[in-house]
Structure 1
Amino acid sequence: MLQAPFTGARVGVIAQTLTKEQYVAASAIGTMTVQLTFVAGYALGGTLVIWLGTTVALLLNAITFLLSALVLRRGVHARPAAKTEHERSGLGTLWTSMTACVRLIWRSGRLRALWLLAVLPGFLIVPEGLIAPYAAELGGGDWQAAVLFPLVPAGTVIGMWLFVRLVPPSRRLQWMGPLAVVSCAVLAVCLFSPPFPVVVAAYVLSGVAACYDLPAGAAFVMEVPDSARGQAFGLRMTVLNLFQGGDVLLGGLFAGHFAVSVVIGGAGAVGVLIATALAVSWRSHAKSAVPVERH
């Protein structure tokens, strides 16, 4: 619940202090750091649970959030938030500013497509949420689950690094749509009950292609006016969290009635359809773009 406003505020501050190209690099570094902590967390968290128990492990995890808050409190200087005319006149409220932000996003075809691309990680989270039952279905049990858990985050780190290093800034948005489609398409192979090495490759490639969100998120942030940037990105994170939670729930429900491989492959196939529609929408609006007014 609190992640969305925190992330929106963080993105707003970073975007105000960096140029567009610097923001892309900073976003890549931040995302790679988060994904690396996921990879390390799977290993370290399991070890701590075994040694210290679940309660102590969760307490230690909570302490890391407290330390992060202290670092932010001491290391980030206060910065006045950009305000709209209504807010400067004292007429703005949370509800009016939020509805105005939604209208701003929805009326711009470019922003709408970039915003809705946040739906796709919901389909990519299904394979991660079903790793344990999928490993059991594959016949390998715990050791296969241990192998699969870090693959998507590790692939994302690799994809982000390669994307920033190899794709010039002028062509990054052109790669966004195809990569979004590929991130889901490789998971559809699970529909055919492939052997474990193919599943490993699919998980890694899905994570690599998920780097599409780097240019998508950067373009979204830089096109939104300063006065709405933090709130707009917070709404984007809300969409992401809602679909991730909902898709994990639906994935679990479907896995109770169908083979796990079918559920994972089906999520990938549905994701391909949505990613293709969003890629086409983005491409059509990008050609006839009208810049959003900045404040």
Structure 2
Amino acid sequence: MESATPHHGVVWHIEYLSHILNALSAVAQFALKNTNARFRDHGDARRRSIVSIFPIMAGKTFLFALAFPVTCAVVGRHEAWSGALVSRSQLCAQTLIATYLFDMTYRRVNAILWVHHMLSIGVCVFFMTITTPDAPDIGRLWLAVPMTLLGMGVGLTDLGGDVAVLLYYLAPQTVASARGIRMCVSYLIVGRASAWFIVLSGLFRGEWRQLELDTRAVGLITAVLLCWGFAELEEIYAILGMSKKLRVKAEALAVAEEARPAKS
């Protein structure tokens, strides 16, 4: 009975966050229907996909705020972690689980994104199970890499990708909007490169060897990191494609607009 209490708290927190995300999606849908003409022109599936971005951005912002002290501890290479940092890391994991579950259930996601989300949820559950505030030093060894990717990657940098998608589907179809998307891509590249620099620097220091992982565990963790990196690269290329497509469309619209007076 005692072990059920923390489990119940985790489930309650995820469920509570899910209700908040659904409420935010309802507000976003109402606002967009009444303020954005391009939103009204999209089909139902596309509208749900667009609406989902707003609560997801809220979840990522909350995640970044939670992860910031932990990320600072990783970058600062604190020799000892407190139990509060481990608890905060577990709260970050719960927030990510709630956000990704909302994303997968509110709209239709492609295969790559589905695998990415399921992989992330599995990793979060693993770290929530294997770490405890009573052993903060062990928690530091386990959590340094994932919390860097969550705090700087998902929590802060991924917002650039979300803004790019909103520009593509909601902003006026102009060259300026295409430039805005490319700026978002630059932000993604710099942010993710910084996160991976911190991660790889920590791995090369070799502190993780204190965990005494076997070859199979090291191989599995390596595969997870490679899959994570591949998903990030795929998103960058997809958003670059959006920028190029929008620029071509904007230039075509501009040419058509210039041709109208000439005909008259």
Range of TM-score over shorter length: under 0.3
Structure with the greater alpha carbon radius of gyration: 2
Question: Which of structures 1 and 2 has the larger relative contact order (alpha carbons within 8 angstroms, sep 6+)?
Answer: 1
